[in-house]
């Protein structure tokens, strides 16, 4: 459960930085020959397993290096990249004493990154399959939510999820009194928050309870302001009470509250 609660995005970035720093110290040609995302390409990870240090790459030669890269990906790499890597390695022929330890560390980091990416893709697919069934969720809104949230199990409840999206108001305590701000915190990922508000705009047309909530709030406020206040209220309520439960416990979406209550009676312990 502890592993499931980790923020996979932060974990992946941390491992990537560690791997880049390790190779920058012991095989700097990799960071120059494979800039940006190419540095973490599976074909480059495969190259680490056989040829990691500059002297190994020079001895292997550009043809062998190109064969390793293209055997894992025909479109991302070619002989020119391999030749560049070999030439860069010729300028810095490092021969670290503890190369077996360094190689194993690099392979372990690459494996950790690959595993974390797989888990991240799993959670994205899991969330996408659930949210897309929500009335009017839309592809862009769904992807924005699942990519930013990742593993919803890391949140203990729906309020924490809504807080992560910046849909809740801030609070402070003075003595025995709790004061709530009038505006949402807007902390967290803005794309996911924007997607949640867009989703609320669809929900107010499809879900009777949210239509009632929308009408009640807009009737008390100026038209323009009331519209956005109502959408934020719907987004917060949906995220806290519906989306979190759907996502964490793998439950379907219901337009009617009674249908959802009946489902809970029939499936009281549904949790995959």
- Report the candidate in 227, 176, 181 with the shortest Cα–Cα distance to residue 205: 227
Mean pLDDT for the chain?
81
pLDDT at residue number 136:
56
**Secondary structure string (H, E, C) spanning 147-183:** HHHCCHHHCCCHHHHHHHCCCCEEEEEECCEEEEEEE
The Cα–Cα gap between 111 and 79 comes to 26
Please give the span between the terminal C-alpha atoms of the chain, in angstroms, as a whole number: 13
Q: pLDDT by residue (tens digit) across 120-138?
A: 666 666 666 666 666 556 6
Question: Span 3-31, mean pLDDT?
Answer: 79
Residue 169 corresponds to which tokens in the numbers above?
Answer: 């108001």
Residue 100 pLDDT > 90: no
Any residues with CB less than 8 A from the CB of 196 and at least 6 apart, and which?
141, 145, 165, 167, 235, 238, 239
Residue 39 DSSP symbol = G
Q: What is the dihedral of CA 36, 41, 43, 49, to 10 degrees?
A: 90
With tokens 């392979």, the residue in question is 107
Query: Whole-prediction pTM value?
Result: 0.52
Residue 131 corresponds to which tokens in the numbers above?
Answer: 């949210």
What letters, b where the CB count within 10 A reaches 16 and e where it falls short, cover 18-31?
bbeebbeebbbbbe
Residue 153: what are its φ and ψ, rounded to 5°? Answer: -65, -15
Residue 32: what are its φ and ψ, rounded to 5°? Answer: -90, -40
Q: pLDDT by residue (tens digit) across 175-194?
A: 555 545 567 777 777 888 88
Q: pLDDT by residue (tens digit) across 19-55?
A: 999 999 889 999 999 988 889 999 999 998 899 999 9
């Amino acid at each position: 459960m502890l592993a499931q609660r980790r923020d996979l995005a932060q974990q992946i970035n941390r491992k990537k930085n560690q791997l880049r720093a390790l190779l920058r110290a012991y095989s700097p040609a990799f960071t120059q020959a494979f800039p940006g995302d190419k540095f973490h390409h599976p074909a480059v990870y495969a190259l680490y397993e056989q040829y990691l240090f500059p002297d190994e790459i020079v001895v292997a030669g550009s043809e062998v290096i190109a064969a390793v890269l293209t055997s894992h990906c025909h479109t991302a790499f070619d002989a020119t990249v391999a030749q560049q890597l070999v030439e860069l390695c010729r300028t810095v022929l490092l021969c670290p004493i503890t190369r077996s330890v360094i190689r194993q560390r690099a392979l372990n980091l690459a494996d950790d990154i690959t595993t974390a990416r797989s888990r991240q893709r799993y959670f994205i697919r899991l969330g996408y399959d659930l949210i897309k069934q929500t009335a009017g969720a839309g592809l862009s809104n769904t992807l924005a939510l699942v990519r930013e949230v990742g593993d919803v199990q890391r949140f203990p409840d729906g309020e924490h999820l809504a807080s992560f999206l910046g849909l809740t108001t801030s609070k402070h305590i003075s003595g025995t009194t709790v004061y709530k701000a009038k505006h949402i915190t807007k902390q967290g990922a803005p794309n996911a928050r924007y997607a949640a508000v867009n989703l609320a705009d669809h929900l107010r047309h499809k879900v009777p309870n949210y239509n009632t909530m929308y009408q009640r709030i807009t009737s008390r406020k100026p038209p323009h302001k009331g519209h956005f206040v109502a959408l934020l209220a719907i987004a917060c309520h949906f995220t806290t009470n519906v989306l979190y439960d759907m996502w964490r416990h793998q439950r379907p979406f219901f337009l009617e509250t009674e249908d959802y209550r009946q489902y809970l009676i029939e499936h009281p312990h549904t949790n995959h």
